[in-house]
Structure 1
Amino acid sequence: MPIPSHDEVVAFVAANRFPFPGQTTWPANYTTLTNAPEKKRAVPGPSGDYYPDIVVIDSDGKTREIGDVEEALDPAKVPLWKAASEAGDPLPEYETRIFFLYVPEGQEEAAKNLLDANKISYAGVRGYRSDGSGHISIVPFVTRGNPYDHQ
């Protein structure tokens, strides 16, 4: 199976997961921004601004949700994922934050282990893939946030 490009996955996830098509629980004042291919919205990072792939803000400009898409797992990105996680809203009822990490299908367990080993709070780890025609699919792996998100 072909692996879609980073920017294709970012665009697909932003359009189909933040919010889900037809989602009625998505706040009307939320706006989904992407930092691929053009940087639009940063969060505080360990060495200055960090631009996660997907940043959801409310009408007051407050960061609410974060999504990052990786083409390969790189432990050097752990501090950036931690910063992204800390920028997302807390979900106290689930004891986590609204941060989702998307990795190529088959790398989900390794991604989960990296997040857990580094005590990074996350709402979900997802795999992605594309079929022969280039159609991208998201494969939920683990959801620690709202069960609605495990689709």
Structure 2
Amino acid sequence: MKLADTGGTLFAADWLEQYAAICFRRAAGGNGFEVLLITTRGSGRWVIPKGSPMKGKTPREVAAVEAFEEAGIKGKVGKKPLGRYSYVKRLDNGKDVPCIVEVFTVETTSIAETFKEQGQRQTLWVRPTEAGGYVEEPELRGLFARLDARLRKTPPDIA
């Protein structure tokens, strides 16, 4: 569901907060970088690993947990968020609720052979400049572009 289609929902409802991970790695042959996209379990749309706040965990720790549970990614999480994006989440009861998602980078160090949601999602590694063509959220597209620019300028360990 597109944010623009929800009209009054954006102004009448409380916004949910979520935390997400843009997982990245050096591309094969060391030529540039790739980011990870995963499918949702319901609609099969391309997204990034994300989830709701967890008691006792910081936002960046939640992003790391979600990256592991949804895609088996282990890695170094950025200390500060890369940015935020918004989307409308359809709850199990059918209600649409706007969400604001704080996004952290995760420099991938390994991929687990087994993880919680294995077999429930597809994964795809693509260049950051290509990732925006797969996702619906315009603000998320902008975050892929921001990460791409950052990776071109600075070493990955400070992305």
Q: TM-score surpassing 0.5?
A: no
Q: Which has the higher strand share?
A: 2
TM-score normalised by L of structure 2: 0.28
Where relative contact order (Cα < 8 A, 6+ residues apart) is larger, the structure is 2
TM-score normalised by L of structure 1: 0.29
